[in-house]
Structure 1
Amino acid sequence: MLSKIRPKVKQPLERIGKTLASLGITPNQLTIIGFLITLLASYEFYLQNQILAGIILAVGAFLDALDGALARATGKVSKFGGFLDSTIDRLSDASILFGIALGGLVRWDVTFLTLIGSYMVSYSRCRAELAGSGTLAIGIAERGERIIIIFIASLFNAVKIGVYLVAILSWITFIQRVYEAKKRLEMG
């Protein structure tokens, strides 16, 4: 759903990307910096500092949104950069949920179902696109939405509710993608 607003924020993000480029920061460095910040958020979740964790998570997510803008602004878009970004996103998702679970904020079984649901959202898109479905950026809970839900819930010390919501919406999104992939792939 957030993918629909990407065109509106593309230019402002690329302006910020140009500023970062003037500082000598590369897109891949920004990806790693964002991941390290997300690890810090995960640690704060482990310590049960939900509000601080949420704020740190928002910073990490913002940097994650900037790495692609930086790549486009500097002409450094690369297949490896896309791969690295996507791979680091999966590690970030896992670290956030593990921090929450290790902190005792959510049961492990719920964390596991949430993580698998989140991974299936990403995997189903990747696999469908490789099979020829075309871009499959559909569903009610892509990664951006899932991060925003955790962020907002943490600001209210209600990350447990956020994780439950992410779990449900991730599985719904996965089903939406499977359904859409089936339609597209059977037509082609």
Structure 2
Amino acid sequence: MIDSKWRSKFQPLFDKMGKKLVTHNITPQAITWGAFVLGVVASIVVIQGWMLLSIALLWLSGLLDVLDGTVARLTRKSTKAGAYMDLILDRMVEAFYILAFAYKFPEGNYAYLLFYIAVIFNFTTFIVAATLFQNKGVKSIHYDVGIAERTETFIIFTLMGLFSYYIFPILMIFNVIIFITGIIRFKRVLNHCKLFD
């Protein structure tokens, strides 16, 4: 929800950063891969126990994830293939990050497993909505707003890193929010389909 509600407030800053990247001929695809690599490195750093560094790398990965789309729009190189790759690699970063926590803090295993189930459910409803609903935004595909979006996920990962004794309750609360997000979208998709049955 933060992404959808607050993105426009920060977009002028992202545009400035994006223009700098454009002047250096850095492509949206290179930025997407850079975000992915940083996210994986952030996960490896979790295993080492360097939480503050891991959190910093995670947020830098998130910044690049914002900038790839910004650069794509500035250079008019926004494509559905790029949006698809971006969505998949974003989920992979989240999966690797949770996997690193499962290795470092195995006591939260049930919360991690439930996170994967919640994300699969939520992401499936997101993709279905993207294919069914008309795209009226600036992104390459329809972006269906939800309670749990990328920034919320990074905030939860940050809290998990800072307060490792409370990983289980922090993640379980977020899992419920992800499920609620998916259920709301699931119902919206079903209602949309009924209009054409």
Give the TM-score taking structure 1 as reference length: 0.88
Find the aligned partners of 2:52 and 2:165 in 1 and give their Cα distance: 9
Do the aligned residues in 1 keep the contact of 2:45 with 2:51 (CA within 8 Å)?
yes
Do the aligned residues in 2 keep the contact of 1:41 with 1:54 (CA within 8 Å)?
yes
Find the aligned partners of 1:80 and 1:151 in 2 and give their Cα distance: 30
Q: Unpaired runs of 5+ in structure 2?
A: 136-141
SS of structure 2 residue aligned to 1:129: helix
Find the aligned partners of 1:24 and 1:178 in 2 and give their Cα distance: 40
Find the aligned partners of 2:55 and 2:6 in 1 and give their Cα distance: 22
Residue equivalent to 1:144: 151
CA shift, 1:105, in A, is 5.1
SS of structure 2 residue aligned to 1:25: coil
CA shift, 1:90, in A, is 1.4
Do the aligned residues in 1 keep the contact of 2:129 with 2:144 (CA within 8 Å)?
no
Amino acid at match of 2:192: R
SS of structure 1 residue aligned to 2:25: coil
Residue equivalent to 1:21: 22
Do the aligned residues in 2 keep the contact of 1:18 with 1:74 (CA within 8 Å)?
no
Residue equivalent to 1:67: 68
Matched, 1:37 2:38: yes
Q: Residue 173 of structure 1 is aligned with which of 161, 174, 181?
A: 181
Find the aligned partners of 2:42 and 2:129 in 1 and give their Cα distance: 32
Which string of whole-angstrom CA distances, capped at 9 and with x for unpartnered residues, describes residues 76-99 of structure 1? 111221111011111111111101
CA shift, 1:31, in A, is 0.7
Matched, 1:185 2:193: yes
Give the percent of matched residue pairs that are identical in Structure 1 and Structure 2.
Answer: 27
Cα 1:64–1:73 change in 2 (3 A) is same
Cα 1:132–1:77 change in 2 (3 A) is closer
Q: Which moved more, 1:124-133 or 1:155-164?
A: 155-164
Matched, 1:103 2:121: no
CA shift, 1:170, in A, is 1.1
Matched, 1:123 2:124: yes
Amino acid at match of 1:147: F
Task: Tell me the matched-pair count.
Answer: 188
Give the TM-score taking structure 2 as reference length: 0.85
Q: Residue 172 of structure 2 is aligned with which of 148, 164, 167?
A: 164
CA shift, 1:125, in A, is 1.4
* CA RMSD in angstroms, aligned pairs only: 2.1
Find the aligned partners of 1:31 and 1:187 in 2 and give their Cα distance: 37
Do the aligned residues in 2 keep the contact of 1:41 with 1:57 (CA within 8 Å)?
yes
Amino acid at match of 2:182: F
Q: Which moved more, 1:91-100 or 1:123-132?
A: 123-132
Amino acid at match of 1:6: R
CA shift, 1:165, in A, is 2.9
